[in-house]
Amino acid sequence: MKEIIIGENAEVYTKVTTDKLAIAVGSGSLKTFSTPSMAALMEEAACAALVPFLEENETSVGISIHVEHIAPTPMNMTVFAEAEITAVEGKEITFSVHARDEVTEIGYGTHKRFIVNSENFQIKTDTKGIMQDE
CATH class of 9-126: alpha beta
Mean pLDDT of 81-92: 98
3-state secondary structure 55-94: CCCEEEEEEEEEEEECCCCCCCCEEEEEEEEEEEECCEEE
Cβ pair 81, 35 in contact under 8 A: no
Cβ pair 115, 93 in contact under 8 A: yes
DSSP bridge partners of 117: 58
Q: What integer best gives the mean pLDDT of the chain? A: 96
pLDDT tens by residue, 38-77: 999 999 999 999 999 999 999 999 999 999 999 999 999 9
Evaluate if pTM is beyond 0.85: yes
Q: List the chain domain ranges.
A: 9-126
pLDDT at 107 over 70: yes
| Spatial separation of the C-alpha atoms in residues 38 and 109, rounded to whole Å | 11
| Spatial separation of the C-alpha atoms in residues 48 and 74, rounded to whole Å | 25
pLDDT at 134 over 70: no
pLDDT at residue 130, as a whole number? 85
Which are the contacts of 76, defined by CB distance < 8 A and separation ≥ 6?
15, 16, 17
pLDDT band at 92 (very low <50, low <70, confident <90, very high): very high
Cβ pair 89, 107 in contact under 8 A: no
Q: How far are the Cα atoms of 83, 127, 130 from residue 123, in angstroms, in the given order?
A: 29, 6, 11
